């Protein structure tokens, strides 16, 4: 309170902006080396910065055109907003990266040489099927990826999406072929009205999804060897026929005629 009352609002806002930011940096909060995570921790600082920027910009415009201050400030606000939208990379990022624009693959570190996630995935060979999808018009078809990897660091779909550029759904496999308790999935329940998830034991739901291909990733699940991959592959065969493509990592089912 002394800072606010005795030093003026600017110093008080400076304190409220820098104190939490420095605290988070010094305490090395989990995942704060990622820009978007650090930004969430210090969201008030962003508001203070934007307030200062807006107030300063309008004050400058008012000094330049004092006789038509209101009109000048209005025009300046429009120009600044348009400039922000044109220069901000977020719109281009969302457009080109699709639903995975927020994946840590793109945010672990914005300096490519320091991005360990980038280096990890770039050692992978991209399956030929994803490159084949990339030769088709972007967003021209939908694929179902399974199993669903809820642990972001071990979900390769963000990496593969840069090559195929198609719409994606995630397939739940537990009720289809997995024993034991649910892990990273949920039981079917009428209260869950998913738009991006499909229960693969439900042929009708798969048909309604409009997906062209169902892709079973056979090698890993949440970063661990997918021990039940063969069991799930056989279960999918019984429902959707033989895969049209298969190797040690993928089994691809063409759903055009199998779920009609």
pLDDT in tens, 92-118: 777 777 778 778 777 777 777 777 777
Token readout for 4 is 């606010």
79 has a pLDDT exceeding 90: yes
Q: Which residue has the higher pLDDT, 146 or 46?
A: 146
112 φ/ψ sector (left φ>0, alpha ψ -120 to 50, else beta): alpha
Instruction: Quote the DSSP letter at residue 24.
Output: H
Name the pairing type of β-strands 224-225 and 220-221.
antiparallel
Judge contact between 108 and 160, C-beta under 8 A. Answer: no
Q: How far apart are CA 240 and CA 258, in angstroms?
A: 5
> 3-state class of 167 per DSSP?
strand
Rounded to a whole number of angstroms, the CA Rg of the chain reads: 25
Q: How far apart are CA 105 and CA 156, in angstroms?
A: 9
Q: How far is CA 150 from the centre of its chain?
A: 12
Q: What is the mean pLDDT of the chain?
A: 85
Q: Tell me the per-residue pLDDT of 151-175, one tens digit each, with 9 for 90 and over.
A: 877 788 988 998 999 999 999 999 9
pTM for the model stands at 0.72
DSSP result, 42-53: THHHHHHHHHHH
DSSP result, 133-153: HHTSPTTSSEEEEES---SGG
**Which residues lie below 8 Å from residue 123, measured CB to CB, with a gap of 6+?**
none
Q: Tell me the per-residue pLDDT of 201-227, one tens digit each, with 9 for 90 and over.
A: 999 999 999 999 999 999 989 888 999
Length of the chain: 260
> 3-state class of 90 per DSSP?
helix
pLDDT at res. 2: 47
Tokens 């809820």, residue?
A: 150
């Amino acid at each position: 309170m002394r800072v606010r009352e005795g030093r003026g609002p600017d110093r008080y806002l400076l304190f409220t902006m820098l104190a939490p930011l420095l605290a988070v940096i010094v305490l090395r909060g989990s995942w704060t080396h990622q820009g978007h995570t650090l930004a969430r921790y210090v969201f008030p600082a962003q508001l203070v910065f934007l307030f200062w920027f807006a107030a300063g910009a309008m004050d400058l415009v008012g000094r330049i055109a004092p006789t038509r201050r209101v009109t000048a400030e209005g025009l300046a606000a429009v120009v600044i907003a348009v400039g922000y939208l044109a220069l901000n990379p977020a719109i281009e990022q969302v457009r080109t990266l699709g639903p995975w624009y927020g994946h840590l693959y793109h945010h672990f570190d914005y300096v490519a040489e320091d991005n360990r996630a980038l280096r990890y995935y770039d050692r992978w060979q991209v399956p030929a099927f994803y490159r084949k999808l990339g030769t088709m018009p972007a967003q021209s078809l939908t694929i179902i990826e399974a199993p669903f990897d809820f642990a972001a660091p071990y979900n390769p779909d963000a990496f593969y999406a840069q090559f195929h550029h198609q719409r994606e759904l995630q397939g739940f496999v537990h009720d289809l072929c997995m024993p034991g308790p649910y892990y990273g999935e949920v039981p079917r329940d009428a209260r869950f009205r998913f738009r991006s998830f499909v229960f693969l034991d439900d042929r009708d739901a798969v048909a309604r999804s409009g997906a062209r291909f169902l892709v079973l990733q056979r090698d890993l699940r949440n970063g661990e060897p997918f021990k039940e991959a063969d069991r799930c592959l056989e279960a999918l065969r019984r429902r959707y026929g033989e895969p049209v493509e298969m190797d040690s990592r993928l089994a691809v089912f063409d759903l055009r005629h199998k779920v009609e």
